[in-house]
Structure 1
Amino acid sequence: MWIYEKKTLRFLSVNQAAVEKYGFSKSEFAQLTLADIREPEEVPQLMENIKERGDNISYRGIWQHRKKDGTTFFVELYAHAAVYYGKKARFIMAKDVDEQVKAAREAHQQGIRYQLLAQAINDAVYDRNLLTNEVSWNHGMANLFRHAPPAEDGIFEWWKSNLHPDDREQIISSLDKCLATGSHHWSAEYRFQCADGSYKYVVDRSYIIYEKNIPVRMIGIMQDMDKHVKQAMKLEEQNKTLREIAWINSHEIRRPVVSILSITGMFDKSNKDIHLNSRLMDWLYQSTQQLDDIIHKIEDKAKDIQ
């Protein structure tokens, strides 16, 4: 606490707490004015503020002060008009609120960064109040799934209703288990319905905030993985087809080839046994037909890959 003269802004009296907080002795304070515990760039604002106050007006506000060693910190001031040994003065009580102000500023900056991030990306970013089930979304929900904004009081139920029927029970159970066990992180992959009735594959990741072991807030992001998942499924199908072709080459095609090689070795090159050669020709035709069918089968599967 301190008392300063309104006309000169000089300190008339300070208590021990002010001495300990600011680092000036009481005799040093007696040589200072309010401007000496402010940053130079804030002095004009200080003078304007003092000018606006009337002699009998109480005041409350937050300012940045400077200690003797040059470090600064935020204080909340409570000011009242006073008369001190015949001089018009102001009585001040200052409360150190440096941590609170810096925490509030950091939270504000984080909020700004969150808003900018939510606007900059196409993913669906959400903020869910776990106590009321109210959910706020960024533009990603409309961009990705073409849904019109649902009613505020039923967004969570609306989200559940748009989960693919084959995924819904498993996803809800996974989320409930995460909240029940106190986990801070939840992630899942599932299919989410678009406005046109089709489904997209998404990956959903979130961070859960607890207060006294009670989940109160869930911030997350839904990313569109549809192209990647379908491409991976297509590659897997192609790999399956390639494995089938490899099996055909190593098993089915070998049978008619072995038959053809065996038959050609049995021909009577002197052509004395016409009946044998005629029968061998029939067998050779059948084996060649089998080989042709297998080749066509391989061609059809190759078209599937393309």
Structure 2
Amino acid sequence: MAKKIAFIYFLIGILWISSSDTLLDIIAAFLGLNPSIIYWIGIFKGFFYVGITSLILYFYLRKSFRKEADQRIAYQRLFEENPIPMWISSKKEFRFLAVNQAAINKYGYSREEFLKMTIMDIRSASEIERLNNYFQKVSADTPDDFIWKHQTKSGKEFFVRISVMETVFEGTASRFASSTDVDEIIKTQQANAELNTQLIAYKNRLENILSSVSDIIWSCEIDSFKINYINDACTSVYGYTPDEFLTNSDLWFSTIIDEDKAIIGENYKRLLKEGHSESEYRIRHKDGSIRVIYDRNVLVRNQEGLPDSINGVSSDITKAKELQEKIIKDEKNMHALINNTEDLIWLVNKDMQLVVGNDPYLKRIEKITGQKPKQGDYVVYKEKDYALWNRFKVHFDRALAGEKAHFEDSTNFPNEGERIIEINLTPVTDQKGEVTDISCFVRNITDRHLNSRKIKLQNDSLNEIAWLQSHTVRAPLANIIGLVQLINHDDLNDQNNQKILKFLEEESFKLDEIIHKIVQKTKQVPGVSLQKKPTSEL
């Protein structure tokens, strides 16, 4: 600006001198002025030029100085009153040369304290090392906008964005810096970054979990049924990979058995109406085998409340269905087995309350009490038959302790008389080995006891007959054999033969009596008949 003013002043001076001298010569020649007048007019012309230009320069410079002063004051106010902390520091010593009020308020130091400090004093040790590295590498291409961590007088650290511009302050090479508090932004970014890392880790864990489960987890669009997500379980259930489902929106529906496609339509209507649905249908695996699928679906709505997508879980229940059918079949067979017997079989809980019983048991109890037993009924009433309850309770407690109990008892049934029964109590345990129920088995052993008594009587009679045969029969038989040997066969008229014959007759009568007695005993043996069989049966 100074050069420009000097050049303009020089140019106007040259023009004034040359033009004014030429004009003066013309006027002097025209008026015939003498040289002395012309001299004084020339002097006055010079003074006039100097005076006029001095006034012009004075007013111009005064205006410029005022403008500069106003600008300086404006810049000073812009610096001092700016809400953003600002300072000027020496480029060489890093000493604070000026700070604004916002910096004083932010950092907690007074202006006097700031002017005794350097920019290192508002940083932690780690940041000072970083700042030194920055100044060692700084160049014309180095960005002047960095994120730093500063600390206040109280030691509180916070993130700031520092913008730097080189300048000259009071003749000293300096740096002008503004400090924008970005602590919340940086911490939010750090929190977001950490959260994003956690979300990525969570997503990976979720993907691993979803890939490891045997159920198919999927999501599709509401209108086109285009699969948006499906886990790896689809490969084992359907035989098709997730990519095949994602690229072919018709693949899933094409796997459904034709007879079951109507189920899907009904399930879709129910889903739109109720927001959730369950269905069971068959699909054809890629290898041609038939699988049974159990679907659980949930309708997802958008912000406007309109149906947007369907999320679902599909389970392959083929083996479960086969097992269920086997259980039903086994249960029918078991019912047929336990009901096709005269034995009474039932299950009670630890309080002697009925859980379940076979048909013979239910019919027997109904016949005795006149009421059909139901679940929860007590199988033995203490008030009705204390003696029976007490006998049953002893063995029932043994079963509760985990011991199998076996005993026999006798009881009177209406219109049937006394019956002897065999009772077996077996504890039923859970997976922990704790007794939960008692299995009861009762069999009528009255006939068996009667048969045992008959056999005992028969054995006693046979033993007596055997004793008669082995002891009583032997004496007269031995006598007869001895007497026969004494007979004189050479002289039948021998008088001793007459005596011997008499003795033989006596012993024969004794033998006959014994045989008669044996026959009578034999007739008393149960199940033994002395009737002569026809010749044809011999």
TM-score between both structures, scaled by the size of structure 1: 0.69
Of 368, 373, 377, which residue of structure 2 is paired with 1:147?
368
Could you say what secondary structure the match of 2:438 adopts? strand
Pairing partner for 2:512 from 292, 296, 303: 292
CA contact (8 A) 2:221 2:310 kept: no
User: Could you tell me which residue of structure 1 aligns to residue 345 of structure 2?
Assistant: 126
1:41 matched to which residue of 2? 259
Counterpart check, 1:252 vs 2:472: yes
Residues 297 and 312, structure 2, Cα contact 8 Å, conserved in 1: yes
Asked whether the 8 Å contact 1:124–1:140 carries over to 2, the reply is yes
Shift of 1:95: 5.6
Q: Partners in 2 of 1:107 and 1:295 — Cα distance? A: 67
Q: CA deviation at 1:300?
A: 1.7
Confirm or deny: 8 A CA contact 1:38 1:64 kept in the other structure. yes
Please list the CA deviations of residues 158-205 of structure 1 after superposition, one character each: whole Å capped at 9, or x if unmatched.
8x96999xxx96x8766654553456xx66666554333534455556
Q: Equivalents in 2 of 1:60, 1:87: separation in Å?
A: 17
Cα distance between partner residues in 1 of 2:413 and 2:294: 52
Report the residue type matching 1:50 in the other structure: Y
Could you tell me the percent identity over the aligned residues?
16
**Contact 2:234–2:241 (Cα < 8 Å) also in 1:** yes
Q: Which amino acid aligns with 1:155?
A: V
- CA distance 1:41–1:130, change in 2 (3 Å): same
Q: Does 1:24 align with 2:245?
A: no
Q: Pick closer, same or farther for the CA change 1:65–1:11 going to 2, 3 Å.
A: farther
Report the count of equivalent residues: 292
Q: Cα RMSD between the aligned structures?
A: 4.6
| Cα deviation, residue 266, structure 1 | 6.4
Counterpart of 2:227 in structure 1 is 12
Shift of the 233–210 alpha-carbon distance from structure 1 to 2, 3 Å rule, reads same
Partner of 2:68: none
Residues 410 and 421, structure 2, Cα contact 8 Å, conserved in 1: yes
Q: Offset of 1:252 from its aligned partner?
A: 0.9
Matched AA of 1:38 = I
Q: Does 1:58 align with 2:275?
A: yes
| 1:114-263 pair list within 5 angstroms | 114-119=334-339, 121-135=340-354, 136-141=356-361, 142=363, 147-148=368-369, 153-156=377-380, 176-177=397-398, 179-181=400-402, 191=410, 193-196=412-415, 198-202=417-421, 208-211=427-430, 212-228=432-448, 230-231=450-451, 233-262=453-482
Aligned partner of residue 227 in structure 2, secondary structure: strand
Q: Secondary structure at the match of 2:379?
A: helix
**Distance (Å, rounded) in 2 between the aligned partners of 1:233 and 1:11:** 83
Q: 1:156 to 1:75 in 2, by over 3 A?
A: same
The CA distance in 2 between the partners of 1:145 and 1:233, in whole Å, is: 32
Aligned-partner SS, 2:272: coil
Query: Equivalent of 1:80, from 258, 276, 299?
Result: 299
Alpha-carbon distance in 1 for matches of 2:368, 2:440: 18
Instruction: State the Cα distance separating 1:255 from its structure 2 match.
Output: 1.2
Contact 2:429 2:436 in 1 (8 A): yes
Provide the C-alpha distance between the structure 1 equivalents of 2:496 and 2:273, rounded to a whole number of angstroms: 136
After superposition, where does 1:264-283 map in structure 2 within 5 Å?
277=499, 281=502
The higher relative CO (CA closer than 8 Å, separation ≥ 6) is in: 1
2:222 counterpart of 1:2:
no
Q: Which digits, 9 at most, give the CA deviation of each residue in 1:48-89, with x for residues without a partner?
A: 3323x26352223252464555463543503224359x9954
Unpaired segments ≥5 residues, structure 1: none
**Distance in 2, Cα, partners of 1:219 & 1:105:** 25
Instruction: Report Cα offsets for 1:225-266 as digits up to 9, x if no partner.
Output: 444554454345334433332221121111122234445666
Paired residues of 1:124 and 1:139 also in contact (CA < 8 A)? no
Verify the 8 A CA contact 1:182 1:215 in the aligned structure 2.
Answer: no
Aligned in 2, Cα 1:29/1:137: closer, same or farther, shift over 3 Å? same
Computing the radius of gyration from Cα coordinates, the structure with the larger value is 2
Contact kept in structure 1, 2:406 and 2:424, CA below 8 Å: yes
What is the deviation of 1:128? 1.7
Aligned twin of 2:213: none
Shift of 1:298: 0.9
Q: Unmatched 5+ residue regions in structure 2?
A: 1-216, 529-538
Give the letter for the 1:43 counterpart: K
